[in-house]
Amino acid sequence: MKTLTAPMPELQPGKHCLFASVRTICEALGQTVTETELYFRCGGMLVEHSSAQPYRIGRPGEAMMEELAKHGDGPLTYTFEPEELQEARLLPAVEEALVRGEPVLLFVHSGCLDCCHEVYRDHPSRPHVICLYGLDRAADTAYIGDSFLLDMSGQALTYQGPVPLRRLLGGIYGAGFAGRPPSAGRSETVLPRAGRETAAGEDSARSAAGALATAGRRPSDREGSLRLAASRIREYLEAPVPIPASAPDEALRYSGEAAYLRFFEVLREAAELPDAEFAQTCREVYYSLRIGGVMHMLLYLKGLVCEHPEAFAETGKEWIRDLEEEELNWRKYLLQLYKIGLKLQKEQWKPLLERGGERMLRLSGMLRTLAAELDTASHRAAKNRQD
C-alpha cells in the first residue's frame, strides 16, 4: 500500500499541545481558529483536582474533547477506550480520515516519540497531543506534526516528520477525528448538531474543518466568543464544592477555583513525604501549575484581550499590563516551589503554599471584573448588530 498523506501546513510553535494541534488541523483543512478561542471552547481553565491523586491538578483531555464537541456545528468523533485504539480498529479509521484529506488528532505518552527528537528523550514521558498526517504501514512509518516540544529552557519547538508506527501505537491513549465518523475505530461519536454528509475530498475536508473551527460560534460571531469566555470564567468561579459524585465510592473532585484552593491545601501534607518523594512532588506541582494550569490560564486571558480590541478599547492596555504582571509574579512563585524541592527546604513549604492560595483568590477577583467587562462588551456588540 502506498503512503497515505493529508495536507499539512508548515508547523508554527504553539502554546499548548492540544490547542496547537487542533489549530493546525483546522489550518490544514482551510479554516482559521486561534489557540485562545480553542482554550475557552474546550473549557481549558476548568482544571480538576481529585482526592485519588492529591498532588496533581489539571484538565483531562477527554473532558476538553467533550466540551469541544458539545458546541459543534458538525461531527467530532473521539475515543479514549483501549479496545478502540487497538491497531486492527484504529488504523482503518486513520486511513479513512487520511483518504478524505483529514489529519488525525492523537493523544499519546510522549515517551513513544523518544526516537524522533532529543526533547522527547530528555524529559519524562507525559500525556501529549500531536497530529498524524501520514501513514505507510508497509514501511512501519507514521508522519506526525508536533507544535509544542518544550526544551530545557522552556522554548516551544516543533517536529514534523516520521516516527516508527509500531512505537507510536504503543503510546496512543486517545484519538480524535474532525470529519464524518469513521466506520471503524470509534467508541464515542458526539453529534451535538446534525452535520451534513459530504463527498470525499475537498468538500469533506471543508466540512471537517467546520466541525472544529466553528465549534461554539461562527468565525465572524465575536459576540458569541465574548459570551463564551464570560461563561467559562463563571464556571471556573462557581463550580460546586465538591463536584457531585456519580457513585458512592467516587473520589472527591473539585473544579476551577475550588480545585486550586483544595490543591494548595492538600499539598501541605507533602512535607511529610520522604525526601526523594518530596522533591519529585515539587517538580510535578511546578509542571502542573505551569502546563495546563494557572500559567496557561494567564496566557490565554491575555490572548483574549489582544484578540478582541473592540471589546477592550478603553481598558485593553491596563488589562495587558495587569495580566503580564500577574504572569511574572506567578512565574517567580513557581520557581520558588521548584527550588524548595531541589534544596529540600521543607520548613518553607507550608508558608509558601499559603501564599499560593492567596494568589489564587487575588486572581479570582480579577476574573470577576473581567467577566463583568465581557458581559458589557457582548451586550454592546449585540446592540450594534441590531442597530
What pLDDT does 198 receive?
Answer: 29
Reported as half-sphere exposure (CB side, CA atoms, 13 A), residue 7 has a value of 17
What distance, in Å, lies between the first and last C-alpha atoms of the chain? 59
Measured from the Cβ of residue 236, the count of other Cβ atoms closer than 10 Å reads: 22
- pTM value > 0.85: yes
Q: Is the peptide bond before 124 cis (omega within 30 degrees of 0)?
A: no
What pLDDT does 297 receive?
Answer: 98
The per-residue pLDDT string of the chain (387 residues; one tens digit each, 9 = 90 and over) reads: 689 999 999 999 999 999 999 999 999 988 889 999 999 999 999 999 999 999 999 999 999 999 998 865 556 789 999 999 999 999 999 999 999 999 999 999 999 998 888 888 888 899 999 999 999 999 999 999 999 988 777 788 899 999 999 999 999 999 999 865 555 433 333 322 222 222 333 444 434 444 454 443 444 478 889 999 999 999 999 998 888 877 777 889 999 999 999 999 999 999 999 999 999 999 999 999 999 999 999 999 999 999 999 999 999 999 999 999 999 999 999 999 999 999 999 999 999 999 999 999 999 999 999 999 999 998 887 777 776
Contacts with 372 (C-beta within 8 Å, 6 or more apart), sequence order: none
CA neighbor of 54 nearest in space, from 256, 341, 285: 285
b/e code 58-93 from CB counts within 10 Å (16+ = b): bbebebbbbbbbebbbbbbbbbbbeebbeeebbbeb
DSSP H helices in the chain: 17-28, 35-41, 61-70, 87-99, 118-122, 165-169, 202-213, 222-238, 257-266, 275-290, 294-307, 316-343, 349-386
What pLDDT does 200 receive?
Answer: 35
Residue 40 CA, chain-centre distance (Å), reads 10
What H or E segment, with its residue span, contains residue 77?
strand 76-79
What pLDDT does 81 receive?
Answer: 95
